[in-house]
């Protein structure tokens, strides 16, 4: 995609295997493009290829493409603009497909739990310090000294000596990533990312002008040879890694691969961005490790943390740990985007760290129970799916056995379950055979969601007879 225009070959890559039996070609094409728009893989205001160009690349008639674009215009997902052709749009909310009024949507799209029990008491306790907070201006680009001190102590207790000056408080982990991207990524810089990975991190690196280079990770972990080769061949400016209970695979990077990664990054001059958002959600890994940055030894490493998974996303509290120079660069860049983190949320977060270990253990017990219930239900209702059991994190990375992920996401919404298609977690259309299923909801909701997924899967249009699924491993 370049300058708001999506080329025909780029669109073909995103489409993957889109044809289905029992459905006309134009309707199948329209459905797949619609999903790409809904889940953000094709941004709004993007200009789609001309009908004739796309027909040539897809080896379909121009009539098929015209009809598909027409169907998208009827639902409000495309508009015709003079001089620009067909441009992506989003329909008005009342025009979009919804579940029936008597059904509540099961949300498998967000891997985020409700607030941990006991948070209300902590909030009430935190209000005792309100007079001190209200005496401030409320504008602070670095963050509360009290909260930074407590986060620094938390790192120090994990064998990573840290001072408050090495911490910046942010508006959650996503804000931290976006700020890092604006500060450390320049136009056309190569950024190494795992594949699959957290989709909004990809957005942050792209918006900063980064050129994404991938290294594979599966539920079994990382390929150290591929990782080494990528560092040596590409010499990325920045590498984004989730080494503990990786999102979405749940994999954890062994200590020896961490050491090798730091060595390769140092030789390549790469800034490491380590996302520890899920690091504390250890459901039974059987081993612990010091923070990635404790091993860095001269390799610039920025660590991103958050209370979103362990405590509650509604607090919107995250942080960046970096060396003093790194914090200085982030401070200089931040004011263009925001003027600081709200004081009240920081006040509550400081109180959270007084009971943090106990609260995390409570969350771990909850999520372990939810994970096991979800796995059991998937085995019962969808035995043909491959369901690896992660030993931490917040979700399963499920193998579907067929390239049906996008279809599940599209048709599942009409049946009452919202889920993100596998390709959203990759680059250039990969992971159509996978889907992420969070276990952050209540057990009853998880069970109902699996029933709805099973009903959706069993009613999907068949894949084209005799046509093999696309092999996308070489793309990522």
Q: Which domain covers residue 192, as residue numbers?
A: 127-355
pLDDT of residue 40: 78
Instruction: Kindly indicate the confidence band of residue 430, based on its pLDDT and cuts at 50, 70 and 90.
Output: confident
Here the CATH number for the domain that contains residue 79 is 1.10.10.10
Give the pLDDT band (50/70/90) at residue 446.
very high
How many C-beta atoms lie closer than 10 Å to residue 280's C-beta?
24
Q: Is residue 1 over pLDDT 50?
A: no
Determine which of 233-237, 294-298, 335-339 has the lowest per-residue pLDDT on average.
Answer: 294-298
H-state helical runs in 208-279: 224-234, 255-268
The pLDDT of residue 460: 87
CA gap 245, 197 in Å, rounded = 11
The CATH code of the domain that includes 418 is 3.90.1150.10
Could you read off the pLDDT of 388-403 as tens digits, one per residue? Answer: 999 999 999 999 999 8
Q: What is the pLDDT of residue 41?
A: 81
Residue 428 confidence (pLDDT) above 80? no
Report the C-alpha dihedral over residues 51, 56, 59, 61, rounded to 10 degrees: 40
* CA distances in angstroms from 307 to 227, 289, 315, listed in the order given: 29, 20, 7
| Chain centre to alpha carbon of residue 386 | 21
Q: Are residues 276 and 421 in the same domain?
A: no
Q: pLDDT tens digit string along 407-419?
A: 899 889 889 999 9
- How much is the mean pLDDT over the chain? 92
Residue 368 lies in a domain: yes
Among 269, 261, 259, smallest CA distance to 189 is for 269
- 42 found inside a domain: yes
List, for residues 159-191, the tens digit of each pLDDT value: 999 999 999 999 999 999 999 999 999 999 999
Confirm whether 147 is domain-assigned. Answer: yes
The pLDDT, as a whole number, for residue 462 is 56
pLDDT of amino acid 297 = 84
> Is there a single domain that holds both residue 302 and residue 406?
no
Report the candidate in 76, 2, 4 with the shortest Cα–Cα distance to residue 33: 76
User: Are 392 and 254 in the same domain?
Assistant: no
Is pLDDT of 470 > 90? Answer: no
The yes-or-no verdict on residue 279 having pLDDT over 60 is yes
Overall domain count for the chain: 3
- Domain match, 81 and 155 both: no
Q: Based on the domain organization, do 240 and 337 belong to the same domain?
A: yes
The Cα 58–Cα 85 span in angstroms is 19
Proportion of the chain above pLDDT 70, given as a percent = 93
Structural domain contains residue 448: yes
Q: Strand pairing of 318-321 and 301-306?
A: antiparallel
**Per-residue pLDDT tens over the stretch 194-203:** 999 999 999 9
E-only strand ranges, 4-117? 78-81, 85-88, 106-107
Q: What is the pTM of this model?
A: 0.86
pLDDT attached to residue 332: 97
| Same domain, yes or no: 396 and 416 | yes
For residue 145, count CB atoms less than 10 angstroms from its CB and return exposed for 0-12, middle for 13-18, buried for 19 or more.
middle
182's CB contacts (< 8 A; 6+ apart) are 208, 333, 336, 337
Asked if the structure places residue 469 within a domain, the reply is: no
Q: Are 293 and 274 in contact (CB under 8 A)?
A: yes
Cα 85–Cα 87–Cα 90 angle in degrees, nearest 5: 155
* Interhelix angle 62-74/51-58, nearest 10 degrees: 120
Q: Is 467 within the bounds of a domain?
A: no
Within this chain, do residues 308 and 178 fall inside the same structural domain, yes or no?
Answer: yes
Cα separations in angstroms, 371 against 36, 52, 281, 386, 435? 29, 48, 12, 15, 15
Pair (212, 316) in one structural domain: yes
Which residues are within 8 A (CB) of 245 and not within 5 positions of it... i.e. 6 or more apart? Answer: 251, 252, 278, 279, 281, 282, 285, 390, 391, 392, 393, 394
In whole angstroms, give the CA distance from residue 390 to residue 376.
14
390 & 308 share domain: no
pLDDT level of residue 436 (50, 70, 90 thresholds) = very high
Residue 475 has pLDDT above 50, yes or no: no
Length of the chain: 476
Tell me, what CATH number does 157's domain have? 3.40.640.10
pLDDT for 469: 34
In the numeric block, the tokens 């539920």 are attached to 219
pLDDT at position 465, please? 36
- Do 255 and 319 fall into the same domain? yes
Beta bridge partners of 252: none
Domain boundary among the residues 355, 376, 404 is at: 355
Contact 243, 274 (CB under 8 A): yes
Query: Is residue 50 domain-shared with residue 167, that is, in the same domain?
Result: no
Q: pLDDT digits over 99-150, tens only? A: 444 468 999 999 999 999 999 999 999 999 899 889 889 999 999 999 999 9
Q: Are residues 241 and 388 in the same domain?
A: no
């Amino acid at each position: 995609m370049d300058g708001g225009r999506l080329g025909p070959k780029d669109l073909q890559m995103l489409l993957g295997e889109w044809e289905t039996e029992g459905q006309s070609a134009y309707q199948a094409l329209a459905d797949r493009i619609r999903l790409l728009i809904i889940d953000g893989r094709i941004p709004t205001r993007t200009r789609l290829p001309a009908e004739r160009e796309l027909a040539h690349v897809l080896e379909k008639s121009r009539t098929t493409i015209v009809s598909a674009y027409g169907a998208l215009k009827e639902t409000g997902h495309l508009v015709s603009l003079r001089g620009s052709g067909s441009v992506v749009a989003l329909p008005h909310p009342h025009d979009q497909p919804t579940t029936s009024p008597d059904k509540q949507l099961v949300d498998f799209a967000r891997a985020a739990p409700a607030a941990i029990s006991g948070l209300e008491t902590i909030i009430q306790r935190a209000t005792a310090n309100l007079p001190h907070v209200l005496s401030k201006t409320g504008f602070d680009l670095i963050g509360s000294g009290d909260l930074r001190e407590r986060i620094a102590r938390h790192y120090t207790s994990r064998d990573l000596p840290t001072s408050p000056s090495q911490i910046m408080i942010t508006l959650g982990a996503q804000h931290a990533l976006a700020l890092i991207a604006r500060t450390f990524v320049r136009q056309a810089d190569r950024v190494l990312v795992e594949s699959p990975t957290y989709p909004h991190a990809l957005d942050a690196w792209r918006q900063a002008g980064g050129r994404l280079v991938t290294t594979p990770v599966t539920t079994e972990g990382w390929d150290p040879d591929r990782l080494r080769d990528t560092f040596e061949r590409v010499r990325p400016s920045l590498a984004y890694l989730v080494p503990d209970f990786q999102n979405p695979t749940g994999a954890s990077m062994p200590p020896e691969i961490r050491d090798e990664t730091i060595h390769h990054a140092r030789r390549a001059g790469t800034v490491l961005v380590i996302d520890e958002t899920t690091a504390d959600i250890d459901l039974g890994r059987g081993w612990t490790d010091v923070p990635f940055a404790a091993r860095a030894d001269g390799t610039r490493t920025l660590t991103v943390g958050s209370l979103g998974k362990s405590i509650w996303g509604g607090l919107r509290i995250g942080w960046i740990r970096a060396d003093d120079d790194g914090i200085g660069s982030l401070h200089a860049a931040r004011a263009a985007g925001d003027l600081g983190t709200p004081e009240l949320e920081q006040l509550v977060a400081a109180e959270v760290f007084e009971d943090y270990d106990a609260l995390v253990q409570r969350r771990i017990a909850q999520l372990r129970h939810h994970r096991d219930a979800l796995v059991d239900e998937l085995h019962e209702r969808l035995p043909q799916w491959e369901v690896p059991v992660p030993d931490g994190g917040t979700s399963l990375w499920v193998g579907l056995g067929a390239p049906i992920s996008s279809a599940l996401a599209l048709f599942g919404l009409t049946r009452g379950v919202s889920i993100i298609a596998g390709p959203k977690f990759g680059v250039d259309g990969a992971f159509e055979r996978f889907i992420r299923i969070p276990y952050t909801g209540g057990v009853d909701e998880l069970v109902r969601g699996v029933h709805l997924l099973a009903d959706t899967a069993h009613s999907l249009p068949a894949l084209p007879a005799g046509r093999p699924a696309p092999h996308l491993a070489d793309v990522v």
